[in-house]
Structure 1
């Protein structure tokens, strides 16, 4: 993959970031891509997977409804709240 100024400009637009040194960014990205492409050369056909989520699924807990006062604690720190809700300025007309 060729990393050039045109691609860096496209990435700059997509990320909505301003890149000051586009040449340096192109060099850095080319180095990263080169490193990742080296991984494609490695033969892993005889290597057995050492981790799989299929064999050891995440243990689940039962859902239990608990009465807490967390809402009151959170709303106590709000600048403006009423009847269990945050009050914010209207931003859409």
Structure 2
């Protein structure tokens, strides 16, 4: 895959990050893509998958509600609080 200036510009816009050395970035990306494309040449047809979540699903725990005092602890450090909420200055008129 050819990485050109247009693609680098698009990546710059999407990531909202300024790329200073565009030529080096294009070269590095071309090397990465070439390496990944080499993986397509591997014959994996007769190789079983080594991991699957279908055969061994993640064990789930019971969802049991319990009382927590975290709200009171957090609000205890607030400059102003009332009825379980922070009180902040009005910023919109």
> TM-score when scaled to structure 1?
0.86
Cα distance, 1:87–1:2 mapped onto 2, change above 3 Å: farther
**5+ residue gaps, structure 1:** none
The alignment covers a number of residue pairs equal to: 93
Q: Specify the alignment match of 1:66 in structure 2.
A: 66
Which segments of structure 1 move beyond 6 Å, counting only runs of 4 or more? none
Alignment of 1:45-84 (within 5 A): 45-84=45-84
Q: CA deviation at 1:83?
A: 1.9
- TM-score, with structure 2 as normaliser: 0.86
CA RMSD of aligned residues (A): 1.8
Residues 58-88 of structure 1: per-residue CA shift (max 9 Å, x gap): 1111111101101112223345433212334
Give the Cα–Cα distance (whole angstroms) in 1 for the partners of residues 33 and 6 of structure 2: 16
Q: Which moved more, 1:70-79 or 1:41-50?
A: 70-79
Q: Which runs of 5+ in 2 are unaligned?
A: none
Shift of 1:37: 0.4
Question: Secondary structure of 1:11's match?
Answer: helix
Deviations 1:33-72 (A, max 9, x none): 0110011000000101111000111111111110110111
